[in-house]
Amino acid sequence: MLKRLNIQPWWLVAIFIGGALGGAGRYWVSLQFAASATLWGTTAVNLLGSFLLTFTTYGLDMVLDLPDGLLLGLGTGVIGGFTTFSTLMLNVVTGAVARPAFAAGMLLLNLLGGLALAWAGYGVAKLMERGRRLW
């Protein structure tokens, strides 16, 4: 039988505030890349988010032993609000009408680049963990 988590109310507040900050960050980045017309803004947040979520979960938490609520606020809140798969899919579908090859390339860049950066985040986290053992 699965054990139920004892969810603390402040965890939900941390996720809510983090989501607002992440969403605002995503909007700011999209403005820097000429909105969704180019797919570059969505790609930038998804690639950065792929690295940051893995790094936060497996790096910062292992080295700093973050409280659960803070980890949820950063990961689920900030990074979850910052990245978005649904926006990527919408941009690819709408971009495919005018430039199908470019839209397909951007989709592959997001998927493969996101996977590569998630591996990179994990690798950096493992290096941090190894360094912590030396202290």
Q: Cα(132)–Cα(83) distance, rounded to whole angstroms?
A: 29
- Identify the CA nearest to 43 among candidates 29, 54, 56, 28: 29
83 is in an annotated binding site: yes
- Identify the CA nearest to 92 among candidates 42, 28, 34: 42
123 is in an annotated binding site: no
Q: Quote the DSSP letter at residue 37.
A: G
Point out the annotated binding site.
80, 83
Point out the annotated binding site for Na(+).
80, 83
